[in-house]
A and B are shown apart, each in its own frame.
Chain A
């Protein structure tokens, strides 16, 4: 699935790195606990979260993720957007709740594990 399709499915705004929304991604995870993302996630390209602080971006950087979806219309700070640009991570903001957003992407073909 392309990141642009994720944005469409989740009615999401693209907040940065629009030039990378044609990248293909295959897997995602949803969590507000970055400790768990670092501990249990392997090779997921997309992070869905309701947490908004710079450590969300750094966690995604460490995990080589391509896209972060902020659920419930959460918006990252300018500092977070600058960090994401540095690592070419697409930031999306969706009005969907976490459960709904994960369900929509799962039904749309994203897997829990990289293929």
Chain B
């Protein structure tokens, strides 16, 4: 595995079933464990991706999650064709949420998703266009 050719995996995130949200994150966790990354790195990637996957199901009706594993970094790209984020600055503030009440009753929608992804990753890039969709690029650098 050199830096120019990452191991690549792709997952479909289904948007019609909240109870299945997180399945891709569980798969990613297994893959990273089998490659031999340390527990802290695996946990950071898993939590960041899980939050993003939950967001995708709640707000965008699902999408695609791609995992790229380089020797020195792990990159997850999540692409959806949802409504887009109107104000990224506002969406990044803890406690701000546009999730419906039924999602709160399921234990999510506290406005911690995007801030949490930023907290657990080394870099978070958000590319969103209203009416077209959102692309999140999450990078985690493994501990040495």
Contact = CB atoms under 8 A, between A and B. Distances in A.
Q: Do chains A and B interact in one complex?
A: yes
Interface of A: 32-36, 38-39, 51, 53-56, 58-59, 61-64, 79
Residue among A38, A51, A56, A64 with most chain B CB within 10 A: A38
B39 A64 contact: yes
Interface stretch (B3-11, B44-52, B61-69): B44-52
A33 B109 CA distance: 9
Contacts of A32: 107
Given A38-B50, A62-B46, A33 B29 contact: no
Contacts of A33: 107-108, 110
Contacts of B94: 39
Residue among B50, B94, B113, B115 with most chain A CB within 10 A: B50
Contacts of B110: 33, 35-36, 39
B143 interface: no
Main secondary structure of the interface of B (DSSP, over half): helix
B29 A53 contact: no
Interface of B: 18-22, 25-26, 29, 39, 43, 46-47, 50-51, 54, 94, 106-113, 115-116, 119
B109 A61 contact: no
Contacts, number: 66
Contact of A53 (B26, B46, B107): B107
Nearest to A39: B112
A62 B39 contact: no
B19 A55 contact: yes
A34 B22 contact: no
A52 to B, nearest CB: 10
Contacts of A36: 110, 112
A79 B19 contact: yes
Contacts of A55: 18-19, 21-22, 54, 106-108
Nearest to B45: A62
Contacts of A51: 106-107
B47 A63 contact: yes
Residue among A36, A59, A62 with most chain B CB within 10 A: A62
Contacts of B54: 55
B29 A35 contact: no
Given A39-B112, A39-B116, A55-B22, A63 B43 contact: yes
Residue among A35, A58, A64 with most chain B CB within 10 A: A35
